[in-house]
């Protein structure tokens, strides 16, 4: 198959490209390298079954050609990360809404299947646990910037479902919960690479709030397997699936584990949310996916434990000697 991956030089996109390449597919990537990095895909660049267009997904001429030439599209290009959401709200909203609109419009023109990657942010600050795909969304006011990300991705989902309903376009929507692993950078706020780099550099581990908030972390390899299997499952079309891990860990506990596993002498420093992000920032206390649906359809069963996940990130930073 000829696979088009938007955002293919990013953290998740590059792992997806690598896995699909391993499975003998032809891979085309489109990425403007705003948060993606060429280093992420450098081992693929010389393959005859790989090519990259360093372009914005808003460039219709380029996208028209790429979509017309592919058999399936994995749409991962997006502005993500709490720091971008706080500091560059215009780019976040525009990239997410206009980018997805472009992908769906062209997919519809050439009748290509699209895998949309959405987010657990969709559920907003609902305190329900775990989140099921059809649960209500609970959002803050539009004056609180943070909710623009959730809303922009919700528009993406609405549009994808609308194309499916009205034009019979084949779409699968995946809501990714916290996904971590090698190549993720802490530059845009993601907690695990930040803690690992802080620990390796003997800097304080910055725990925001009181650290009692929990998250469920999934290894990127588990997430990529789920994306590919869902793409290959015809009955997934027109549906939404949570993907992630359902084992919660508090952020303070995560910091302690990272400190222990790196034998670091870093202190743990509590930083109030107002200082870490912006005044009035609202964080989710708990976020757990209900994975019943994806397990039932494709037998999804994440393999990586939290310790294996942390180790894979530590090994990456030790080997690559990277800092953010």
Catalytic residues: 149
Least separation in angstroms between CB 295 and ligand UDP: 22
Burial class, 116, CB count within 10 angstroms (exposed 0-12 / middle 13-18 / buried 19+): buried
- H/E element, 53: strand 50-53
Per CB under 6 A, 85 contacts ligand UDP? no
- The pattern of x and - marking residues 279 through 318 that bind ligand UDP according to CB under 6 A reads ----x-----------------------------------
Task: Give the separation between CA 146 and CA 139, rounded to whole angstroms.
Answer: 9
Which of residues 112, 125, 215, 293 is near ligand UDP by CB under 6 A? 215
Per CB under 6 A, 217 contacts ligand UDP? no
Report whether the peptide linkage leading into residue 130 is cis, meaning its omega lies within 30 degrees of zero. yes
Q: Quote the distance between the C-alpha of residue 231 and its chain's center.
A: 16
Per CB under 6 A, 82 contacts ligand UDP? yes
Least separation in angstroms between CB 175 and ligand UDP: 12
> Would you say 31 and 76 are in contact if contact means Cβ atoms under 8 Å apart?
no
- Shortest CA distance to 10 belongs to which of 181, 241, 200, 151? 181
| 98 or 271: CB nearest ligand UDP | 271
Q: Which two tokens stand for residue 28?
A: 């085309």
Least separation in angstroms between CB 178 and ligand UDP: 5
Instruction: For helices 251-261 and 306-320, give the axis angle rounded to 10 degrees.
Output: 50
- The pattern of x and - marking residues 242 through 281 that bind ligand UDP according to CB under 6 A reads ---------x------------------------------
Of residues 168 through 207, those in contact with ligand UDP by CB under 6 A are 178, 189-191, 194, 206-207
Task: Give the separation between CA 45 and CA 320, rounded to whole angstroms.
Answer: 18
Which of residues 50, 123, 208, 304 is near ligand UDP by CB under 6 A? 208
Least separation in angstroms between CB 180 and ligand UDP: 8
Which region, left, alpha or beta, applies to residue 209 given φ > 0 means left and ψ of -120 to 50 means alpha? Answer: left
Per CB under 6 A, 213 contacts ligand UDP? yes
Cα radius of gyration (the chain): 19
Q: Which two tokens stand for residue 152?
A: 């922009």
Per CB under 6 A, 122 contacts ligand UDP? no
Interface residues with ligand UDP (CB under 6 A) are: 82, 178, 189-191, 194, 206-208, 213, 215, 251, 283
């Amino acid at each position: 198959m000829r696979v088009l991956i938007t955002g293919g030089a990013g953290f998740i996109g590059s792992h997806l490209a690598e896995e699909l390449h391993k499975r003998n597919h032809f891979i085309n990537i489109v990425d403007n390298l705003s948060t993606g990095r060429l280093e992420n895909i450098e081992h693929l660049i010389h393959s005859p079954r790989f090519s990259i267009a360093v372009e914005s997904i808003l460039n219709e001429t380029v996208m028209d050609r790429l979509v017309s030439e592919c058999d399936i599209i994995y749409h991962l290009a997006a502005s993500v990360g709490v720091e971008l959401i706080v500091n560059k709200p215009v780019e976040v909203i525009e990239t997410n809404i206009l980018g997805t609109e472009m992908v769906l419009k062209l997919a519809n023109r050439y009748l290509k299947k699209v895998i949309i990657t959405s987010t657990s942010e969709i559920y907003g600050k609902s305190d329900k646990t775990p989140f099921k795909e059809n649960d209500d969304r609970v959002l803050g006011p539009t004056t609180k910037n943070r909710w623009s990300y959730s809303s922009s991705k919700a528009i993406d989902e609405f549009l994808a479902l609308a194309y499916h309903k009205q034009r019979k376009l084949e779409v699968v929507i995946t809501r990714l919960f916290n996904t971590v692993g090698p190549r993720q950078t802490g530059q845009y706020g993601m907690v695990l690479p930040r803690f690992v780099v802080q620990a390796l550099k003997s800097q304080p581990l910055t725990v925001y709030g009181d650290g009692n908030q929990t998250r469920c972390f999934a290894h990127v390899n588990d997430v990529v397997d789920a994306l590919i299997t869902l793409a290959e499952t015809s009955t997934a079309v027109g549906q939404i699936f949570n993907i992630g891990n359902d084992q919660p860990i508090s952020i303070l506990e995560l910091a302690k584990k990272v400190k222990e596993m790196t034998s670091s002498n870093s202190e743990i420093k509590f930083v109030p949310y107002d200082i870490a992000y912006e005044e009035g920032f609202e964080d989710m206390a708990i976020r757990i996916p209900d994975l019943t649906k994806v397990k039932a359809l494709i037998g999804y069963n994440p393999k990586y434990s939290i310790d294996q996940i942390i180790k894979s990130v530590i090994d990456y930073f030790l080997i690559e000697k990277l800092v953010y």
